[in-house]
Amino acid sequence: MWVEALLLAPLLVAAAPALESRDPGPSPRCPADMRLVTGTHYDEVEHLCIDWRKSVGRCFAYYEQLTVANGPTTSVDVCMDRFEAPNEEGKRPLVMRSLAGAEAFCEERGKRLCSEAEWETACESGDHRPWQYGWKVDKRVCNSDKSWRPFDAAALTAGGETARREVEKLWQGAASGAFAGCVTKDGIHDLMGNVEEWVTSSRRRKHRGALMGGFWAKPWTGCRGTNDAHEPTFVFYEVGFRCCKAPTPSEVEP
């Protein structure tokens, strides 16, 4: 049972007060268009659901005082793009890129695709919060409350102008940074909603890439809502990505 898990878990974390969402500004260890994300990532994080919605089979709120974190840990120290690619405030996020296409975009800019652990660490803001902005779904904060629209799979896979028109018909994304409150304490925008983001898998998964953060019609998707169902060749009208890179080493006092 969950209570027994609390008693037996190797780490029991008391939740800190909600962290103010604000941009701390660039770090000297990162390029100006990126922000430094640091922390300890736990492979397994468990929360106590207090608002289960049977209609969609999802939890919409968790108890704010207790978190069970266990499993292998990873020390995260990374520069992360402030916005979804192309990482420009006010621009429309790029979509219809495969995992390889996303990796190529980042590599051309001297960066790489973010890992699953890095993405989750940025999203959880140091207190293991289930959503970038807190402990319960708030559809007003990020672009995640749009209605799902049926799509034409044949049109999307046709390429060229046919695919472009279908994407335009389906598009409900927002310009990067348009939702001012949808930002972490480190200054990372739009991790929740807008477009799903490719990451490289950090755990043993069927594929080497996974999708994070949900999109504009999945308000319940949280920091740990990994979608690992798609092959690396998958492209879709609501799938984007962001880039990461290693920061410069910290200066060490002699």
Tell me the pLDDT tens digit for each residue of 226-238: 899 999 999 999 9
Could you give the count of Cα atoms lying within 13 Å of 152 in the half-sphere of its Cβ? 13
What's the CATH code of the domain at 78?
3.90.1580
Q: Which pLDDT score, from 0 to 100, does residue 203 have?
A: 77
Q: What is residue 163's DSSP assignment?
A: H
CB atoms within 10 A of CB 95: 21
Inform me whether the pLDDT recorded for 91 exceeds 90. yes
Please check whether residue 236 is in contact with residue 252, taking contact to mean a CB–CB distance below 8 angstroms: no
Q: Which pLDDT score, from 0 to 100, does residue 6 have?
A: 36
Inform me whether the pLDDT recorded for 156 exceeds 60. yes
The span from the CA of 105 to the CA of 125, in Å, is 27
Which has the minimum average pLDDT: 26-35, 97-106, 203-212?
203-212
The span from the CA of 176 to the CA of 86, in Å, is 9
Residue 41 included in any domain: yes
Question: Which domain range does residue 154 map to?
Answer: 2-245
Residue 125 included in any domain: yes
Among residues 38, 84, 107, which one has the least CA distance to residue 190? 84
What would the mean pLDDT of 68-93 be, rounded to a whole number? 96
Residue 29 included in any domain: yes
What average pLDDT does the chain have? Answer: 90
Residue 254 included in any domain: no
Q: In this prediction, what percent of the chain has a pLDDT beyond 90?
A: 83
CB atoms within 10 A of CB 33: 15
Both tokens of residue 222? Answer: 């949280």
Confidence category of residue 251, pLDDT binned at 50, 70, 90: low
User: Is the preceding peptide bond at 86 cis, omega within 30 degrees of 0?
Assistant: yes
Could you give the count of Cα atoms lying within 13 Å of 51 in the half-sphere of its Cβ? 10
Residue 252 included in any domain: no
Q: Look-up: residue for tokens 């080497």?
A: 208
Residue 250 included in any domain: no
Inform me whether the pLDDT recorded for 243 exceeds 50. yes
Q: Which pLDDT score, from 0 to 100, does residue 11 have?
A: 44
List pLDDT tens digits, range 114-152: 999 999 999 999 999 999 999 999 999 999 999 999 999
What would the mean pLDDT of 26-37 be, rounded to a whole number? 97
List pLDDT tens digits, range 204-214: 788 999 999 99
What would the mean pLDDT of 192-202 be, rounded to a whole number? 95
Residue 185 included in any domain: yes
Confidence category of residue 202, pLDDT binned at 50, 70, 90: confident
The span from the CA of 118 to the CA of 74, in Å, is 9
Confidence category of residue 4, pLDDT binned at 50, 70, 90: very low
Q: In this prediction, what percent of the chain has a pLDDT beyond 70?
A: 90
How many domains are contained in the chain?
1
Please check whether residue 77 is in contact with residue 244, taking contact to mean a CB–CB distance below 8 angstroms: no
Residue 253 included in any domain: no
